[in-house]
């Protein structure tokens, strides 16, 4: 098990602007400050993993090839600003499918742990929905609910450890937590 700590981040509504089943790579739009925030994580040698439910595949809105094009665009936008992610994990299933990867279930995190050998209980989970918070709690991670994307709908009654305006605000707290 690596001593390196990881930050698990939701995609839609947290990293990129929520588009309701984003299916066009040209519509990938990072929130302001996201690349700089991820770059700060990179400089702290914190691993960065994206975990994203993509039920648009199960619903027939787009296919895996199209999703790969979207992720290629996401990687390019981050790279253009000197930011990198260590891995991106998807759940392509619908809400009624019987899978173990759809948030808040831990399947995507389990796969990330298998690939990157980190302790999820030492990780941080950031997202804009309560399922992101629930996933973080399920694996023992510190949790952040951002007020971007769908976040404002979940602030009242959230079980998140922290409610913050955006990804950059979450990273500032993480920096203090790891002694940066």
pLDDT digit string (tens) for 131-157?
999 999 999 999 999 999 999 999 999
Q: What is the pLDDT of residue 5?
A: 97
Q: Assess whether 86 carries a catalytic annotation.
A: no
Report the alpha-carbon distance of residue 54 to residue 170 in Å, rounded.
23
Please say whether the structural domain 6-177 has been given the CATH code 3.40.50.1000: yes
Exactly one of 10, 128, 132, 166 is catalytic; name it: 10
Indicate the average pLDDT of the chain. Answer: 96
Task: Give, in order, the Cα–Cα distances in Å from 38 to each of 5, 156, 171.
Answer: 14, 27, 8
| Helix%, strand%, coil% for the chain, nearest 5 | 40, 15, 45
Asked if 133 contacts 121 with a C-beta cutoff of 8 angstroms, the reply is no
Residue ranges in the chain assigned as alpha helix (H):
34-43, 55-58, 64-80, 107-116, 130-139, 167-177
Q: How far apart are CA 18 and CA 71, in angstroms?
A: 15
pLDDT at residue 2 in the model: 73
pLDDT of residue 64: 96
Two structure tokens written together for 122: 């030492």
- Verify whether residue 26 is a known catalytic residue: no
Going by pLDDT thresholds of 50, 70 and 90, the confidence category of residue 180 is low
The answer to whether 139 and 121 have CB atoms below 8 angstroms apart is yes
Q: 175: which strand partners?
A: none
Domain ranges of the chain: 6-177
Cβ neighbours of 76 (radius 10 Å): 11
Cα angle for residues 172, 149, 175 (degrees, 5° grid): 10
Helix 34-43 with 64-80: angle, nearest 10 deg? 70
CB neighbourhood size of 21 (10 A): 13
Q: What is the pLDDT of residues 53-112, one digit of tens each?
A: 999 999 999 999 999 999 999 999 999 999 999 999 999 999 999 999 999 999 999 999
Return the pLDDT at 54.
97
- Tokens standing for residue 151: 């976040």
């Amino acid at each position: 098990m690596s001593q390196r700590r990881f930050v698990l981040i939701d995609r839609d509504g947290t990293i990129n602007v929520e588009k309701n089943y984003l299916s066009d790579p040209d519509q990938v739009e990072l929130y302001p400050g996201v690349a700089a925030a991820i770059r700060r994580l990179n400089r702290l040698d914190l691993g960065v993993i994206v975990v994203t439910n993509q039920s648009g595949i199960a619903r027939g809105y787009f296919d895996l090839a199209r999703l790969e094009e979207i992720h290629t665009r996401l990687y390019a936008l981050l790279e253009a600003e000197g930011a990198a992610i260590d891995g991106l994990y998807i759940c392509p299933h619908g809400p009624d499918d019987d899978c173990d990867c759809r948030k808040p279930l831990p399947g995507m995190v389990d796969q990330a742990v298998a690939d990157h050998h980190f302790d999820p209980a030492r990780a941080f989970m950031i997202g804009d929905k309560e399922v992101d918070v629930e996933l973080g709690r399920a694996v023992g991670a510190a949790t952040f609910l951002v007020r971007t994307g769908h976040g404002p709908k979940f602030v009242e009654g959230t079980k998140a450890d922290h409610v913050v305006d955006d990804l950059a605000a979450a990273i500032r707290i993480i920096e203090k937590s790891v002694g940066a």
